[in-house]
Amino acid sequence: MLQRGNDGGQFNRTLYHSADTDESTMWVRAAAIATGYETSDIERDVRTGTVSGYEAEVRAAASHMEFVYDTSPSGDDILREFEAYAVKYGVYPEVFVMDNLANLYAGEGEEFAALQGNCDFLHDLGRDTKAAIITLHHTTGEYTNGDRPIPRSGIRGKIDKTPEVVLTMHRRNEQTFISPVKNRTGKADPRAEWNLPLYADLARMHFQG
């Protein structure tokens, strides 16, 4: 969604830290979004070295995005990324994505306390830089299949106190359902019984709804 922008052709300057997914996979997904081709076809062309036709389209479609692929960044690393972005562009990013929360290193210690510390850090980062902060996170074991609604209680580590908005997602056939289980300024259902359908063509990384 961030790469594609909205229906009016507006985009948000984005800094995306992909600690969980490697650069080649993210490039294939970006190419699918940019071209409408299936990821399997793009992966085949990558293997055969025939990707030159995609490169210009990916550059144009993702020109408003910067990606970082360090696998276990610390809070200090993230702060340096923000400062480097500001030096390069003269402003902070409008959106920062941390994929995912558990990959943000918070020192040694109890796991769930570290997750909460990461939430606090990202919350402060958003306030200080005015960037919208988006982070991906995991569920508890009983919901990992992603085939049924995930309530607020299904969030791993119970780190739902700090975020302004918490959305959980599950899939059924070609539809993805978004459940606003927390929304500080709007409608929400912590039981995830109310959700919003979204058509998802994952082969082309296309979403509509």
Q: What is the pLDDT of residues 164-205, one digit of tens each?
A: 999 999 998 888 999 999 999 999 999 999 999 999 899 999
Which superfamily does 1-137 belong to? P-loop containing nucleotide triphosphate hydrolases (3.40.50.300)
How confident is the model over 50-81, as pLDDT tens digits? 988 899 999 999 999 999 999 999 999 999 99
pTM of the model: 0.94
Domain ranges, ordered by start, for the chain: 1-137, 150-209
Total residue length of the chain: 209
Reference 142, options 129, 130, 156, 132; nearest CA is: 156
Q: Which tokens is 170 given?
A: 């599950």
Closest CA to 82 of 72, 99, 98, 96: 96
